[in-house]
Chain A
Amino acid sequence: NAGVTQTPEFQVLKTGQSMTLQCAQDMNHEYMSWYRQDPGMGLRLIHYSVGAGITDQGEVPNGYNVSRSTTEDFPLRLLSAAPSQTSVYFCASSYLLGGAWGYTFGSGTRLTVV
């Protein structure tokens, strides 16, 4: 049981390049979400999904796209990378069980845009 797998672990991009951060979970969780963590700040929600085919924006969605074609995968696309998108990105899947929410986080992707 791998949990939430994020790839790559590290990435350096040039301004204007595009890329996709991958996120996969094998726990059959309906909810998945993407966060970014900047120095001195907590995680901020970028986009989230409540199930396959359904996505919605979070606090900081600009510059990012998502899609959810399967329950397992929730990729995050950077359309045209900017230095302001330098951050650590976390993917999470979540579930409601017995009236309590549980979250499983990936190990993060450290992205640097130069």
Chain B
Amino acid sequence: AQTVTQSQPEMSVQEAETVTLSCTYDTSESDYYLFWYKQPPSRQMILVIRQEAYKQQNATENRFSVNFQKAAKSFSLKISDSQLGDAAMYFCAYRANNNDMRFGAGTRLTVKP
């Protein structure tokens, strides 16, 4: 079964600084999709960024970028110029073609002013 591991239960960053959240996954599939979701206290699940495994280029969305290492099965999220509104739980998620999404346990990000 596919598993997703987020080894950092909590992270803290100073406003305007950069932080990297780690994610590793286990799969025997070659074609799959990876996601980072943000969950603020409102509990809404908000897509931050996604990556298709067949694409070698790392995805970027404004201040958010990923470091996708397919051979190492690693998918880290970098948040640049951190803002107070970035404080939330962040979940890494994996989806293969024949299964639905599997999530990591999450990383709670605190942004200090």
A interface, CB within 8 angstroms of B? 31, 33, 35, 40-45, 48, 58-59, 88, 90, 92, 94, 99-103, 105, 107-108
Q: A48 to B35, alpha carbons, bound, how many Å?
A: 18
Main SS of the interface on chain B? loop
| Cβ 8 A contact of A42, one of B4, B50, B52, B54 | B4
Asked whether, in the complex, the Cβ of A45 is within 8 Å of the Cβ of B104, the reply is: no
With A99-B52, A100-B33, A108-B43 as contacts: A42 and B100 at CB distance below 8 Å: no
CB distance from B43 to the nearest CB of A (A): 5
* Chain B residues engaging chain A, CB cutoff 8 angstroms: 1, 4, 6, 9, 33, 35, 42-45, 47, 50, 52, 54, 91, 93, 95, 100-106
Tell me, in angstroms, the Cα distance from A92 to B95 when the chains sit together.
Answer: 14
Interface of A is mostly: strand
* B residues in contact with A100, CB < 8 Å: 33, 50, 52
Besides A45-B101, A103-B101, 18 other A-B contacts (C-beta < 8 A)? A31-B100, A35-B103, A40-B9, A40-B105, A41-B105, A42-B6, A43-B93, A43-B103, A59-B1, A88-B43, A90-B45, A92-B45, A94-B100, A101-B95, A103-B47, A105-B44, A107-B42, A108-B44
Q: Shortest beta-carbon distance, A55 to chain B, in Å?
A: 11
Contact, CB under 8 Å: A45 / B102: yes
